[in-house]
């Protein structure tokens, strides 16, 4: 009974802290702007099954892709065992899901095998970070804390797998020692029982309890560490894929208010009617974190900092200052910084800083070619160009700031109706002296 009380208290504390963290993030999302209506649920489910659960984009780098996919799939299987542990802890029973019969055997066997596979994969990941210089793990945005964060998370996952194998091994050994039924199949732990074969049944029970409590408390701790870690993608990646933009990557979202003005200028008859009660936008484009859409912010929380986006960016490859990963990480950092003040003092709060310039420079933004290589490569469908273009919109439409070459184009469009410096009447002068036969 005492252990049940302790377990219930630990579970309540875990849910309490996680609930508070969730509430804070919900409040931050309320500071953001609308993005797009969420519809086409069939397409979204299909995309989620393929990209999130199937890990399809990860396999573009076969070795690390397969390893990461195995870790992800392992967590899904092991999650069932974790749910069983919560039930067992609350009600003081053991192996409560054994009533599932043959399916339980399959789940336990899969979890036991995946525990070993995940442990090996994590050791490989830790080794890569410690002993191999992986270029995409570096960059101006990758501070020392980012590397420490990754190593801590990987170490906790490794401990989770080792404690799971430990409790399975001691369970099998204990049940064998007292001639009791073993519920479930444990192909890996069965072979590890030789490591504890010399222990008495009482010692095996203690061995099991130590690993059981260590495993479940690590789960509780890790669940509340993740929202403050780059590994928050464990929670956010699947929702981010489900809520992906379904438009083709090359299609950039327009601002309705500007589209309406352009149509009115070109042909008033074709302009769509204004929405009743629609207010003029407070700002064109994005200056700070509270100007972004909820999808931009969700992207920033889901980012794994893997660097795949930056590794394929033509601007980054050719030595430009742009790093798509940095753009997303900067948004997350800025919202974390300014969000506290906004939640405390309201939307008028200002710390005399902004996402643009204090975090992201104009040089970075104008280096982007909007080729969408970053969005195509991202394993969880983050769309970097939409945020970059919105920040450019602020520069152009609010400040009239742009590189000289673009300003010349803008002037030509305004004066000549085309990006060239010639008027419409003079555009064919280049062909004046060409001998072109009429057909």
**Domain containing 270 — which CATH number?**
1.10.1060.10
Q: Is 238 a member of any domain?
A: no
Domain that residue 19 falls in: 2-30+61-231
pLDDT band with cut points at 50, 70 and 90 for residue 421: confident
Q: Is 138 a member of any domain?
A: yes
Please indicate, yes or no, whether residues 392 and 359 belong to a single structural domain of this protein: yes
Please indicate, yes or no, whether residues 203 and 275 belong to a single structural domain of this protein: no
Please indicate, yes or no, whether residues 338 and 411 belong to a single structural domain of this protein: yes
Q: Is 244 a member of any domain?
A: no
Please indicate, yes or no, whether residues 333 and 403 belong to a single structural domain of this protein: yes
Q: Is 428 a member of any domain?
A: no
Please indicate, yes or no, whether residues 284 and 400 belong to a single structural domain of this protein: yes
HEC sequence for the chain: CHHHHHHHHHHHHHHHHHHHHHHHHHHHHCCCECCCCCCCHHHHHHHHHHHHHCCHHHHHCHHHHHHHHHHHHHHHHHHHHHHHHHHHHHHCCCCHHHHHCHHHHHHHHHHHHHHHHHHHHHHHHHHHHHHCCCHHHCCCCCCHHHHHHHHHHHHHHHHHHHHHHHHHHHHHHHHHHCCCCCCCCCHHHHHHHHHHCCCCHHHHHHHHHHHHHHHHHHHHHHHHHHHHCHHHHHHHHHHHHHCCCCCCCCCCCCCHHHHHHHHHHHCHHHCCCCCCCCCCCCCCCCCCHHHCEHHHHHHHHHCCCCCHHHHHCHHHHCCCCCCHHHHHHHHHHHHHHHHHHHHHHCCCCCCCCCHHHHCECHHHHHHCCCCCHHHHHCCCCCCHHHHHHHHHHHHHHHHCCCCHHHHHHHHHHHHHCCCCCCCHHHCCHHHCCCCCCCC
Q: Is 35 a member of any domain?
A: no
Please indicate, yes or no, whether residues 179 and 99 belong to a single structural domain of this protein: yes
Name the average pLDDT for the chain. Answer: 90
Amino acid 427: pLDDT: 75
> Span 176-190, mean pLDDT?
92
pLDDT band with cut points at 50, 70 and 90 for residue 395: very high
Please indicate, yes or no, whether residues 15 and 161 belong to a single structural domain of this protein: yes
Number of domains in the chain: 2
Amino acid 400: pLDDT: 87
**What is the tens place of the pLDDT at every residue in 165-181?**
999 999 999 999 998 98
**What is the tens place of the pLDDT at every residue in 310-363?**
999 999 999 999 999 999 999 999 999 999 999 988 888 989 999 999 999 999
Q: Is residue 11 classed exposed, middle or buried when 0-12, 13-18 and 19+ CB atoms within 10 A define those classes?
A: middle
Statement: residue 279 has pLDDT above 90: no
Please indicate, yes or no, whether residues 330 and 219 belong to a single structural domain of this protein: no
Please indicate, yes or no, whether residues 298 and 416 belong to a single structural domain of this protein: yes
User: Is the entire prediction scored with pTM above 0.75?
Assistant: yes
Least Cα distance to 225 among 147, 125, 149 occurs for 149
Q: Is 239 a member of any domain?
A: no
Q: Is 277 a member of any domain?
A: yes
Q: Is 266 a member of any domain?
A: yes
Please indicate, yes or no, whether residues 226 and 302 belong to a single structural domain of this protein: no
Please indicate, yes or no, whether residues 112 and 159 belong to a single structural domain of this protein: yes
CB atoms within 10 A of CB 358: 14
Please indicate, yes or no, whether residues 176 and 302 belong to a single structural domain of this protein: no
């Amino acid at each position: 009974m005492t252990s049940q009380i302790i377990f219930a208290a630990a579970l309540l504390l875990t849910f309490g802290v996680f609930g508070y963290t969730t509430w804070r993030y919900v409040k931050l999302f309320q500071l953001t702007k609308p993005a797009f209506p969420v519809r086409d649920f069939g397409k979204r489910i299909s995309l989620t099954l393929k990209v999130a659960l199937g890990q399809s984009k990860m396999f573009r780098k076969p070795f690390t892709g397969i390893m990461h996919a195995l870790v992800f799939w392992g967590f899904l299987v092991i999650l069932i065992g974790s749910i069983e542990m919560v039930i067992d802890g609350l009600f003081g029973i053991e192996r409560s899901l054994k009533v599932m019969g043959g399916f339980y055997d399959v789940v336990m066997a899969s979890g036991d095998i995946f525990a070993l596979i995940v442990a090996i994969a994590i050791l490989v990941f830790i080794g890569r970070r410690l002993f191999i210089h992986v270029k995409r793990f570096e960059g101006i945005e990758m501070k020392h804390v980012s590397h420490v964060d990754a190593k801590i998370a990987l170490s906790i996952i490794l401990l989770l797998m080792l404690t799971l194998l430990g409790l399975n091994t001691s369970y099998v050994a204990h049940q064998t020692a007292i001639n009791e039924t073993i519920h479930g199949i444990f192909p890996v732990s069965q072979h590890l029982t030789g490591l504890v074969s010399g222990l008495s049944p009482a010692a095996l029970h203690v061995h099991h309890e130590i690993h059981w409590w260590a495993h479940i408390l690590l789960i509780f701790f890790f669940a509340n560490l993740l929202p403050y870690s780059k590994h928050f993608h464990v929670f956010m990646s699947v929702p981010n894929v489900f809520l992906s933009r379904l438009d083709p990557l090359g299609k950039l979202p327009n601002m309705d208010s500007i589209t309406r003005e352009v149509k009115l200028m070109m042909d008033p008859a074709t302009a769509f009617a204004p929405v009743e009660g629609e207010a003029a936008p407070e700002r064109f484009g994005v200056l700070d974190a509270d100007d972004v859409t909820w999808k931009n912010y969700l992207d920033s929380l889901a980012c794994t900092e893997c660097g795949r986006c930056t590794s394929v960016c033509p601007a980054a490859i050719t030595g430009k200052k742009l790093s798509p990963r940095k753009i997303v990480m900067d948004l997350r950092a800025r919202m974390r910084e300014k969000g506290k003040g906004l939640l405390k003092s309201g939307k008028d709060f200002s710390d005399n800083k902004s996402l643009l310039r204090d975090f992201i420079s104009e040089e970075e933004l104008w280096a982007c070619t909007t080729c969408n290589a970053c969005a195509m490569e991202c394993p969880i469908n983050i769309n970097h160009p939409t945020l970059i273009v919105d920040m450019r919109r602020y520069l152009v439409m609010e400040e009239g700031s742009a590189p000289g070459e673009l300003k010349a184009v803008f002037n030509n469009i305004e004066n000549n109706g085309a990006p060239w410096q010639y008027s419409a009447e003079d555009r064919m002068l280049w062909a004046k002296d060409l001998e072109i036969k009429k057909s």
